[in-house]
Amino acid sequence: MNTLTKESLFQMIVRSDEILLIDVSNFLYRYAWAYKDKSVSINGVETKTGHIYGFLKFLTRLENTFNNPSIVLCLDGLDTSRKELNPYYKANRSNHSDMKEVILSTTDDIVKMSSMITSVYSCYDSSFEADDCIHSIVSSVSSLCDKNKVNKSVYILSNDKDMFQLVRDTGYATVNIIRKLDGTSNWKHVSDIVDEGVVRDTFNGVSPKDLVKYRSIVGDNSDNLRGYYRFLKSKASEIANNFDYDIKNNKLVQKNGSLINEDITDKYLPIILNDFHIFESNYQIMKMKSFDFEISPISANHSKEDISDIVSLINLYRMDWFLGYCMRRSLYGSYVRELCNV
């Protein structure tokens, strides 16, 4: 499959009114729970399909709500580096093992069916998480927009607070997060949209660029990362706002001109320094990685054979409503109608 170079990525930016980066796993798990009773029999085996139903519904709503969007499906690879730093990372999610197996076994099929939506791309690298894909795309899009003086809105669709570190209100590319949909036709205007103000309100006045330091101190229960015991959040925010993390020398360095209270230097900073491995490990896990990503335009240039295979998948999972949607709205609608003798 063809992939986009930096030059063609810029053309995608110019051509689209808005760029939507989807944390696919985040939504698949969400819909697996929301529609946990949905299933179909495939070869005599009852197979859960709630996550498929919910995700395809979600994509159709995006296509109908946004104006000429480019939709990028960001997928999790098999990255183990974070687990190597902390073996307890995400260990609290073991109860979801059955659901995880179902989702992993059907993700490729979901991506194929999603390609019937106009202007859908995918980003996947076996060595990185979806978070890293999103971070890398945001960095490239922001840089290209600033360089070429092109204004663009980038929306990250995820309920993962790790994404808050990517929010950006300045520059030619604004980056906001949409955490939930309210079901109305104008949901992007009235839903839970995260900008820099929301980040500061949520995390005791800490900005997105300082957020990883703050969360490295207080920890993250959702990922099973412990912070410092009984560490006041107000003190964590004061340290995050007034100190930089010198990764090369592995130490916290006070920012030039910053003023801090005595209790920070006398009481709270020593707590971190005495067990600095907690901060160091959390930071390395929480800080998203940049890599030379590839984006595949999965909805482009399907052959009739491709369409036939996708229609077979849609029928396999009994997504009749989506088949009807494809007949009406997909670029390949005429092929679908022909295959279905409509």
pLDDT by residue (tens digit) across 138-169? 999 999 999 999 999 999 999 899 999 999 99
131 shares its domain with 12: yes
What is the per-residue pLDDT for 116?
A: 96
281 shares its domain with 326: no
**252: CATH:** 1.10.150
Torsion, CA 73, CA 110, CA 181, CA 196, rounded to 10: -20
* Residue 23 pLDDT class (50, 70, 90 cuts): very high
Tell me what percent of the residues of the chain surpass a pLDDT of 90: 70
Paired strand residues for 20: 71, 155
Q: Which backbone phi and psi does 249 adopt, to 5 degrees?
A: -100, 0
141 shares its domain with 243: no
Specify if 163 maps to a domain: yes
* Residue 183 pLDDT class (50, 70, 90 cuts): low
* C-alpha of 134 from chain center: 6
* Rounded Cα gap, residues 190 and 177, in angstroms: 13
What is the per-residue pLDDT for 151?
A: 93
Specify if 1 maps to a domain: no
186 shares its domain with 92: yes
Provide DSSP, 168-214. B-SSSEEEEEE----SSTTHHHHS-EE-HHHHHHHTTT--GGGHHHH
Name the pairing type of β-strands 39-42 and 45-48.
antiparallel
Residue 94 pLDDT > 70, yes or no?
A: no
Select from 242, 257, 286 the last residue of a domain: 286
**315: CATH:** 3.40.50.1010
What is the per-residue pLDDT for 322?
A: 97
Per DSSP, which regions of the chain are E strands?
18-23, 39-42, 45-48, 69-74, 120-123, 152-157, 173-178, 193-194, 219-220, 225-226, 243-246, 251-254, 295-296
Tell me what percent of the residues of the chain surpass a pLDDT of 70: 93
Full residue range of the structural domain in which residue 241 is found: 204-286
34 shares its domain with 116: yes
Select from 286, 301, 322 the last residue of a domain: 286
Q: Which of 78-87, 190-199, 202-211 has the highest mean pLDDT?
A: 202-211
Residue 54 pLDDT > 60, yes or no?
A: yes
* In the block, residue with structure tokens 């808005």: 18
Burial class (CB in 10 A: 0-12, 13-18, 19+), 333: middle
Total length of the chain:
342
Select from 243, 258, 286 the last residue of a domain: 286
275 shares its domain with 306: no
Average pLDDT estimate for 39-47 = 94
Specify if 181 maps to a domain: yes
CB neighbours (10 Å) of residue 271? Answer: 15
Q: Is the dihedral of CA 26, 28, 31, 33 positive or negative?
A: negative
162 shares its domain with 26: yes
Residue 76 pLDDT > 90, yes or no?
A: yes
Specify if 246 maps to a domain: yes
Residue 95 pLDDT > 90, yes or no?
A: no
Q: How many domains does the chain have?
A: 2
Residue 307 pLDDT > 90, yes or no?
A: yes
Is residue 215 within a helix (H) or strand (E), and if so which, with residue range? Answer: helix 211-218
Residue 2 pLDDT > 90, yes or no?
A: no
What is the per-residue pLDDT for 239?
A: 96
Specify if 99 maps to a domain: yes
Specify if 19 maps to a domain: yes
List pLDDT tens digits, range 246-274.
Answer: 999 999 999 998 888 899 999 999 999 99
What is the per-residue pLDDT for 89?
A: 87
* Residue 189 pLDDT class (50, 70, 90 cuts): low
What is the per-residue pLDDT for 240?
A: 96
Average pLDDT estimate for 91-101 = 75
The DSSP symbol for 225 reads E
